Amino acid sequence: QRKNPFSNDNRLASKPVHTHRGDPTYGRPPEGSQTEQRGKDAHSHVGKEVEELCLIIRSTGEVGEDGHVSVTFGQLFETYVTISNKVVGILLRARKHGLVHFEGEMLWQGKDDDVIITLL
């Protein structure tokens, strides 16, 4: 529509044509947009869930000889699933940020119930 001489939609003229991979705004919503705000809100919500998960691990786990609190995935799943159904996703996010450690790429209910999750 931007090239259409019969289009007088002013919204199209105000948008940038295209961003490229080297551009710092590439893959990001426009500043001040509702999309940007929704992304910030979601990031904040997930951060709070990660904090809550760490608190649950601290309260239900046991302190080991190294001083770190550990809990099995099965025990954590049973405790945390009543709070949120995103246990594994929140665990992966917590590991990405260096807050917890566990072996393996993914944890599966039943199969990985004995995997130890350590709060760092």
| Predicted local distance difference test score (pLDDT) of residue 11 | 57
| Predicted local distance difference test score (pLDDT) of residue 16 | 53
Helix (H, G, I), strand (E, B) or coil at 95: helix
C-alpha to C-alpha distance for 86 and 83, rounded to whole angstroms: 9
Q: What is the pLDDT along the chain (120 residues), one digit of tens a residue?
A: 556 666 665 555 555 556 778 888 888 888 888 989 999 999 999 999 999 999 999 999 999 898 999 999 999 998 887 777 788 899 999 999 999 999 999 899 889 999 999 999
Q: Are 113 and 97 in contact (CB under 8 A)?
A: no
**CATH number, span 49-119:** 1.10.10.1540
C-alpha to C-alpha distance for 94 and 118, rounded to whole angstroms: 11
Q: Are 117 and 73 in contact (CB under 8 A)?
A: yes
Q: Are 61 and 102 in contact (CB under 8 A)?
A: no
- Report the run of H or E that residue 10 belongs to, with start and end: helix 10-14
Q: What is the pTM of this model?
A: 0.70
